[in-house]
Every structure is written in C-alpha cells, then in structure tokens.
Amino acid sequence: MKNQTLAIIAYITLIGWIYSYVQYKSSPDRSRLVRYHLNQALGIFIFTVILWTAIKVISVIVPSIGSILAVAGLLPLVLMTFGAAAASRDILSPVPGVGKLFENRFGFLN
C-alpha cells in the first residue's frame, strides 16, 4: 500500500491507526511520512481521551456548562482532519495546537 494512504488511514479511528502501524512495521523500507503521521495520530487519540475525560468531569461538577463544553469535544475531529489533509499532501507538519507535543514522542515507532 502507498505510504501516503497509510499516513491518511492512521487518522481514521484507532483501528485505522493499528492497521497503518502493522503495515508500517512489516514494510522493509519504513517511510518517514508514515512514521510521522502515526506519531501525530496517536498523540491526537491520547489528547482525545484526556479532553473527553476533562469535559465529563467538568460537566458533572458544573452541569450548566456541559452543553457548551460538548462543542469542545469536536476539536479532535478537526485535528484529525488537519492531520489527514497534511498526510494527503505529503507534508510533515504538526497538527495545530497539540501536534508539537507529540513529535518524536513514541519510541516504538522507530
């Protein structure tokens, strides 16, 4: 499968990330593009769990702002869209906001 396609699939759910990871690890020539976007996508998935947990806790404590914070729950979808768009153009740029936090963070991808 083409490296660009694997990089895009990494952003499509956790199952897509696992598929891209397995294909990346089994490939004799490991693409820098796929590794970078696997790194970014995993970072977004971790950020999503933290964000949704924080929203849930705050919604339980202050129910009146729960519906407002629910809109913030769409942020990971926007970040994944930015990441997939960058992957489709063969660009190694971090997703806005949280992308820099996860650059070269996950050593098992090397």
Tens-level pLDDT at each residue, the chain (110 residues): 689 999 999 999 899 999 999 999 998 888 899 999 999 999 999 999 999 999 889 888 988 887 788 888 889 999 999 999 999 999 898 999 888 888 877 877 77
Is residue 53 in a domain? yes
Is residue 44 in a domain? yes
Residue 39: per-residue pLDDT: 92
Is residue 24 in a domain? yes
Residue 84: per-residue pLDDT: 94
Residue 1: per-residue pLDDT: 67
Residue 59: per-residue pLDDT: 87
Using the CB atoms, write b or e for 30-69: b if 16+ within 10 Å.
ebebbbbbbbbbbbbbebbeebeeebeeebeeeeeeeeeb
Is residue 46 in a domain? yes
Q: Where in the sequence is the domain holding 21, given as residue range(s)?
A: 3-105
Is residue 110 in a domain? no
Is residue 33 in a domain? yes
Residue 89: per-residue pLDDT: 93
Structural domains in the chain (count)? 1
Is residue 49 in a domain? yes
Is residue 29 in a domain? yes
- Cα dihedral 48, 53, 56, 59 in deg (nearest 10): -100
